Amino acid sequence: MEEEERFLKGKKKAMALLSHKDRTKWELADKMKQAGFDEEVIEDAIAYVESFHYIDDLRYAIRFAEIYSDSRSIKRIRQDLEKRHVPEEYIEIALESIHMDDSRALQKAMKKFIKDGETAEDFSYEEKQKIAAKLYRKGFRTDDIFRALNL
């Protein structure tokens, strides 16, 4: 295959991958590696899509935090962004954009365990402990959980 054709094919693949969903730079490179592209072609394709702002890890991190701030804990959002190899400074900016507040997500998660019309006082201490453990495993902070459950 001609050199220029390889690079063109790489750019087309990158564009096709981004047409389905937004990705981080690392995710795009990983998908292209899986498709059999070599490092040189991957770097060229990433530079190409970056030049058009089709890929931007900071924008990705901020948008990700905004989307999931109602359903995931701050800890979980951080872990998910780290898993996608988003730089730490971008993660911090993204979390600051949602004011590092996961109270809405905690309330939403609690609704799965506490039905309409019930309050935390309707549960025994042991039941509250079980709910607290489930919420803790979802990444919510212990003090926030205890405050919400009146423990």
Going from N- to C-terminal start, the domains of the chain cover: 3-51, 57-97, 103-149
Amino acid type, 97: S
**Mean pLDDT of the region 90-111:** 86
Q: What's the whole-model pTM score?
A: 0.74
Tell me, what's the pLDDT at 64?
A: 95
Orientation angle between helical segments 3-20 and 25-34, nearest 10 degrees: 120
pLDDT at 50 over 90: yes
Give SS3 for 89.
Answer: helix
Q: What percent of the chain has pLDDT over 70?
A: 99
pLDDT range class, residue 148, cuts 50, 70, 90: confident
Tell me, what's the pLDDT at 1?
A: 59
Q: What percent of the chain has pLDDT over 90?
A: 54
**Mean pLDDT of the region 132-147:** 87
pLDDT at 11 over 70: yes
pLDDT at 15 over 90: yes
Distance, CA of 7 to CA of 79 (rounded, Å): 34
**Backbone phi, then psi, for 22, in 5-degree steps?**
-70, 145
* Both tokens assigned to 61: 């991190």
Which has more confidence, 38 or 121?
38
| Phi-psi label, residue 45: left if phi above 0, alpha if psi -120 to 50, beta otherwise | alpha
Question: Taking all residues of the chain, what is their mean pLDDT, rounded to a whole number?
Answer: 89
At the top level of CATH, the class of 3-51 is mainly alpha
* Both tokens assigned to 50: 């970056």
Q: In angstroms, what CA-CA distances link 70 with 22, 52, 149?
A: 20, 31, 19
Contact yes or no for 109/140 (Cβ under 8 A): yes
Q: Within 10 Å of residue 85's Cβ, how many Cβ atoms?
A: 13
Rg of the chain (C-alpha set): 21
Which has more confidence, 71 or 117?
71
pLDDT at 52 over 90: yes
Distance, CA of 123 to CA of 140 (rounded, Å): 20
